[in-house]
């Protein structure tokens, strides 16, 4: 049996409930890019300070391992955020790729869609940030 | 219709016009200042990067235009939502991600080769308006000073310590590798690994004032033994003038005050303002690639440097007679 939420008589408080959740969701879509931004900032700052001040004092090994561990943790967080957003988008159940209608439910699913795409681009961004660390591994 | 025929002959390239066009396009690829005719490891790596990017761009260009053709001429009807979605996912997300990742990995993988540590001579090059101060730092701590010419041994990586006196310059020998900027008060390090002996041309690649375009130099890659012999000769003091005319020139050089700015080691001329002239006669060019090194070229330069290099600090010596200038030119040309 196909779900058809739009035909169902809505509960009088349902919209309000959805809307309150949506406010949270609006914040949630920024989480992926925020993690990406912090990853970039921390990696860049740590490596430049190390290369400028401490290159001759100790090897880069420990810093590399710490940054790679941070990267793995951040990628896991972005993947989790992306998965939650994917569920919110609900494309598998509804088959609705886009949600243009502007109802509370549509907004909810749209934010899931946007959050998922932002998590995806953040994931790729974090991987790209980390490639120099893995491939180069020196200050030169 | 004669008018139309005439218009065609002007605007449509005939065989000779195409030949001219391709000559103009490819003339720059030949010769001793081309990044596409590598004389060393670095230029080869950068050349490969260029060809890979060019090949990719050509494939993408044909691919995109093929899609435009297909979508507008072959299959102009609307596609289903499903196909459109997959087109966006595959063509807009998956393909660029894979392509950019591959290019990023390739680009990063060649960086260590371009930044490898030097195992050859260490050369300090200081950009000045508009010439190059060159100092070879030898292992025994001594320095060999020259100017406006770099000589390098083939098969080893030379290290360049790049600095500038007053404005930002950029050190670039396209046939040997990439460029690096020279900043006042900061030493940038670069290494180059030349492989093929020959005379290449370097050029300042950062606008640095009126005569920026005339700020060039010759870079000769030599067999290692020849390089060692050259460096030993370059370290020696200047030869004594071989002819009476050159001896007159040497006396004039000192009496006219040239030694206040120029050094000719082994003589009272010890100035450090302008280029060291101890072995100027053995160089491939005069005034940072501006003139040749015939006696006539020396005379032209001494008489009026500003005519050849606008804004040059060296004053014109046009108050001297032609004979006197020729004597100075003979002296300088003999400083081998």
The reported pLDDT for the residue numbered B7 is 45
Residue A92 pLDDT exceeds 80:
no
Domains B30-77+116-235 and B244-333 share a fold: yes
| Residue of A94, A118, A126, A135 to mutate for B, most B C-beta atoms under 10 A | A135
**A104-129: pLDDT as tens digits:** 777 788 888 899 999 999 999 999 99
Task: Write out the two tokens for B115.
Answer: 């930044």
| Residue of A123, A128, A129 to mutate for B, most B C-beta atoms under 10 A | A128
> Is the CB of B109 inside 8 Å of chain A's CB atoms?
yes
- B108 and A124: CB-CB below 8 Å? no
Q: Which CATH number fits domain B244-333: 3.30.70.20, 3.40.50.1110, 2.30.30.90, 2.60.40.420?
A: 2.60.40.420
pLDDT confidence tier of residue A12, bands split at 50, 70 and 90: low
Summary count for chain B: helices (H), strands (E): 10, 10
Residue given tokens 């050094």 in the structure block: B263
> Is the CB of A140 inside 8 Å of chain B's CB atoms?
yes
Residue B107 pLDDT exceeds 60:
yes
Residue B204's nearest CA partner among B177, B171, B176 is B171
Q: What percent of chain B has pLDDT over 90?
A: 78
**A34-49: pLDDT as tens digits:** 999 999 999 999 999 9
Q: Which CATH number fits domain B30-77+116-235: 2.60.40.420, 2.40.128.130, 3.30.565.10, 3.40.190.10?
A: 2.60.40.420
Residue given tokens 């790209």 in the structure block: A128
Q: What is the C-alpha radius of gyration for chain B, rounded to an integer number of angstroms? A: 27
CB atoms within 10 A of CB A126: 24
Contact residues, chain A, for B95 at CB < 8 Å: none
Q: Where are the domains of chain A?
A: 18-135
- Interval B248-275 mean pLDDT: 95
Strand partners, B217: B202
- A140 and B93: CB-CB below 8 Å? no
Residue A55 pLDDT exceeds 60:
yes
Distance between CA atoms of residues B261 and A89, nearest Å: 76
Tell me which residue in A124, A132, A138 faces B97 most closely, judged by beta carbons: A124
How many Cα atoms occupy the beta-carbon half-sphere of B134 within 13 Å?
Answer: 24
- A135 and B93: CB-CB below 8 Å? no
Q: What is the pTM of this model?
A: 0.79
The reported pLDDT for the residue numbered B228 is 95
Peptide bond into A20 cis (omega under 30): no
Residue B91's nearest CA partner among B122, B123, B64, B59 is B64
Residue B222's nearest CA partner among B190, B199, B201 is B199
Residue B130's nearest CA partner among B217, B201, B47 is B217
Distances B26 to A133, B30, B148, B226 between C-alpha atoms, Å = 39, 7, 28, 33
Residue A88: which region, alpha, beta or left (left: phi > 0; alpha: psi -120 to 50)?
alpha
Distance between CA atoms of residues B321 and B336, nearest Å: 25
- DSSP-derived letter for residue A95 is -
- Interval B128-156 mean pLDDT: 94
Distance between CA atoms of residues B281 and B180, nearest Å: 29
- A124 and B81: CB-CB below 8 Å? no
Contact residues, chain A, for B104 at CB < 8 Å: 128, 131
Closest Cα of chain A to B108: distance in Å? Answer: 7
The reported pLDDT for the residue numbered A111 is 86
Residue B249 pLDDT exceeds 80:
yes
* Bigger pLDDT: A16 vs B137: B137
The reported pLDDT for the residue numbered B14 is 56
For the ranges A59-68, B116-125, B141-150, B312-321, the lowest mean pLDDT is seen at A59-68
Residue B229 pLDDT exceeds 60:
yes
Strand partners, B159: B122, B191
**Contact between residue A134 and residue A68 where contact means Cβ atoms under 8 Å apart:** yes
CA A48 to chain centre: 26
Closest Cα of chain A to B112: distance in Å? Answer: 7
**Contact between residue A52 and residue A63 where contact means Cβ atoms under 8 Å apart:** no
The reported pLDDT for the residue numbered B60 is 93
> Is the CB of A91 inside 8 Å of chain B's CB atoms?
no
Residue B285 pLDDT exceeds 90:
yes
**B5-22: pLDDT as tens digits:** 444 444 445 556 656 656
Contact residues, chain B, for A128 at CB < 8 Å: 100-101, 104
- A136 and B104: CB-CB below 8 Å? no
The reported pLDDT for the residue numbered A130 is 93
**B115-129: pLDDT as tens digits:** 888 999 999 999 999
**Contact between residue B321 and residue B256 where contact means Cβ atoms under 8 Å apart:** no
Q: Where are the domains of chain B?
A: 30-77+116-235, 244-333
pLDDT confidence tier of residue B1, bands split at 50, 70 and 90: very low
Q: Where are the beta strands (DSSP E) in A1-140?
A: none
Tell me which residue in B97, B104, B115 faces A140 most closely, judged by beta carbons: B115
Residue B191 pLDDT exceeds 90:
yes
Tell me which residue in A127, A131, A136 faces B112 most closely, judged by beta carbons: A136
Q: Which residues contact B224 (CB under 8 A, 6 or more apart)?
A: B153, B154, B155, B156
Helix, strand, coil percentages for chain B (3-state, nearest 5): 45, 20, 35
CB atoms within 10 A of CB B87: 13
Contact residues, chain B, for A136 at CB < 8 Å: 108, 111-112
- Interval B183-202 mean pLDDT: 95
The reported pLDDT for the residue numbered A4 is 46
Residue given tokens 């370290």 in the structure block: B235
Distance between CA atoms of residues B265 and B300, nearest Å: 24
> Is the CB of B93 inside 8 Å of chain A's CB atoms?
yes
């Amino acid at each position: 049996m196909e779900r058809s939420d739009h035909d169902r008589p809505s509960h009088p408080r349902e919209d309000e409930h959805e809307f309150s959740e949506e406010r949270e969701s609006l914040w949630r879509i920024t989480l992926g890019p925020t993690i990406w931004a912090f990853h970039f900032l921390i990696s860049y700052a740590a490596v430049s300070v190390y290369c400028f001040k401490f290159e001759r004092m100790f090897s880069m090994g420990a810093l590399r391992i710490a940054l790679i561990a941070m990267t793995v943790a951040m990628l896991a967080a972005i993947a989790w955020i992306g998965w939650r957003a994917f569920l919110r988008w609900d494309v598998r159940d509804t088959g609705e790729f886009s949600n243009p209608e502007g109802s509370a439910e549509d907004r909810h699913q749209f934010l899931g869609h946007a959050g998922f795409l932002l998590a995806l681009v953040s994931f790729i961004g974090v991987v790209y940030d980390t490639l120099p660390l893995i491939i180069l591994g020196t200050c030169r | 219709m004669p008018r139309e025929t005439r218009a065609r002959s002007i605007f449509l390239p005939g065989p000779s016009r195409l030949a001219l066009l391709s000559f103009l396009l490819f003339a720059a690829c030949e010769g001793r200042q081309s990044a596409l005719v590598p004389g060393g490891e670095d230029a080869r790596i950068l050349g490969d990067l260029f060809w890979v990017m060019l090949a990719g761009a050509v494939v993408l260009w044909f691919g995109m235009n093929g899609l435009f053709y297909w979508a507008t001429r072959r299959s102009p009807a609307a596609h289903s939502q499903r196909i459109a979605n997959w087109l966006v996912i595959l063509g807009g997300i998956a393909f660029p991600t894979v392509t950019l990742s591959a290019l990023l990995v390739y680009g990063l993988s060649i960086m260590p080769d371009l930044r490898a540590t030097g195992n050859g001579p260490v050369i300090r090059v200081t950009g000045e308006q508009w010439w190059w101060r060159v100092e070879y730092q030898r292992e025994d701590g001594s320095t060999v000073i020259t100017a406006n010419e770099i000589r390098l041994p083939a098969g080893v990586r030379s290290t360049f310590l790049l600095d500038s006196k007053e404005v930002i310059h950029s050190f670039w020998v396209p046939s040997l590798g990439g460029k690096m900027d020279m900043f006042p008060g900061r030493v940038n390090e670069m290494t180059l690994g030349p492989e093929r002996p020959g005379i290449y041309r370097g050029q300042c690649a950062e606008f640095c004032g009126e005569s920026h375009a005339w700020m060039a130099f010759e870079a000769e890659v030599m067999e290692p033994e020849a390089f060692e012999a050259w460096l030993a000769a370059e370290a020696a003091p200047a030869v004594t003038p071989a002819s009476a005319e050159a001896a007159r020139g040497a006396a004039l050089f000192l009496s006219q005050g040239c030694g206040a700015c120029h050094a000719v080691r082994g003589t009272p001329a010890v100035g450090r303002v302008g280029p060291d002239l101890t072995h100027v006669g053995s160089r491939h060019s005069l005034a940072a690639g501006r003139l040749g090194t015939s006696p006539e070229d020396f005379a032209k330069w001494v008489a009026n440097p500003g005519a050849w290099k606008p804004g040059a600090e060296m004053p014109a010596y046009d108050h001297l007679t032609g004979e006197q200038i020729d004597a100075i030119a003979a002296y300088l040309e003999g400083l081998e």
